[in-house]
Amino acid sequence: MQKRDKIYVAGHTGLIGSALVRRLKSLSYDNVVTRTRNALDLTDRKKVEQFFLQEKPDCVILAAAKVGGIHANNTYPAEFIFENLSIQNNVIDLAHRMGVKKLLFLASSCVYPKLCAQPMQEQDLLTGAIEATNEPYAIAKLAGIKMCQAYQRQYGANFISVIPANVYGMNDHFDENGHVLAALIEKFHLARQQKLEDVVIWGTGKPKREFFFVNDMADACIFLLNNYDQPDVINLGTGIETSIAELAGQIKKVMRFDGALRFDTSKPDGNPRRLLDSSKIKALGWEASTSLEKGLQLTCEWYQKNLGRTLL
């Protein structure tokens, strides 16, 4: 990827897209193109085609997606499969037709089988059944991976896919539809504000997740755009697992909440574990550098500053 290349970041207002734009700018990639959701509906093929004809980007980073935590995935399965398939079908196919030189597709670690051996390796894809709460989303993401591979095999398109661990950070959705880390930051904030005695943590607290700071994620994507041209997917993570109970304890501390944690086991746990084997990207020369402690601190500070939620 050249510094003067026109790079279209689809989904630039979201968690990962906004981090990508920040990182690209800090590395002097100054020809970044974006469109808000109102300006360009990516599920509308005609409009996406007009956009490509007008802008003719050299590179595309497909960070636009319908995303959410376990509750949102479980409640809106139709939107999760339909919107994601529509967005990626339009963007990947039109990127090929318009001669885009390189495309990066973002998948998710929920594409691996529910009971996959840990840590999960790239060759474990499609070896078992997917966890039920996020199957529609995972099927859409698997289709995106397969589409990039098919276009690479049939047309020689340089379209690559990554599988990130549980990404968190600035511009996340801090509400009940969000992923656990952001949702808990908001819950602890509200509990302090409303002087509650406890905070409800969904599930048993036993599942483990690999939390991956969004600035590291953006950095890894740009590294791969410059150093990776293979059709095989590539995992992106830290190699460190944290249980939901441990995570809740850490957020409680950063958000300075004095009350108790109450586990609501009527809520789903989702995957028991989801640890990625990131040795492939490590062998290429890239490694995550932000600890969960540091990333959590930065995310809580951002939340308090930008969402007007100053702690008393």
Catalytic residues: 137
52 vs 174, beta carbon nearer ligand GFB: 174
Residue (of 270, 265, 218) closest to 110 by Cα position: 270
Minimum CB separation from ligand GFB for residue 1, in Å? 26
For residue 44, count CB atoms less than 10 angstroms from its CB and return exposed for 0-12, middle for 13-18, buried for 19 or more. middle
Minimum CB separation from ligand GFB for residue 214, in Å? 12
Backbone angles phi, psi at 10, to 5 degrees: -80, 125
Binding status of residue 267 toward ligand GFB by CB under 6 A: yes
Binding status of residue 110 toward ligand GFB by CB under 6 A: yes
115 to 134: interface string for ligand GFB, x by CB under 6 A: ------------------xx
- Three-class SS state of 217: helix
Binding status of residue 14 toward ligand GFB by CB under 6 A: no
Binding region for ligand GFB (CB under 6 A) out of 28-36, 106-114, 148-156, 284-292 = 106-114
- Give the β-pairing of 102-106 and 159-164: parallel
Q: Which amino acid is at 198?
A: D
Binding region for ligand GFB (CB under 6 A) out of 63-71, 116-124, 284-292, 293-301 = 63-71
Torsion of CA 198, 203, 204, 210, to 10 degrees: -100
HSE-up of residue 25 (Cα within 13 Å, Cβ side): 11
Tell me which residues in 168-227 interact with ligand GFB (CB under 6 A): 179-180, 183-184, 187, 201-203, 207, 209
Binding status of residue 276 toward ligand GFB by CB under 6 A: no
Binding status of residue 238 toward ligand GFB by CB under 6 A: no
> What are the angstrom distances between the C-alpha of 153 and each of 95, 100, 146, 162, 293?
15, 16, 10, 17, 42
153 vs 262, beta carbon nearer ligand GFB: 262
Q: Which residues contact 80 (CB under 8 A, 6 or more apart)?
A: 66, 68, 72, 73, 134, 136, 137, 140
Residues at the contact surface with ligand GFB, assessed by CB under 6 A: 69-71, 73, 108-110, 133-134, 137, 166, 179-180, 183-184, 187, 201-203, 207, 209, 244, 267-271
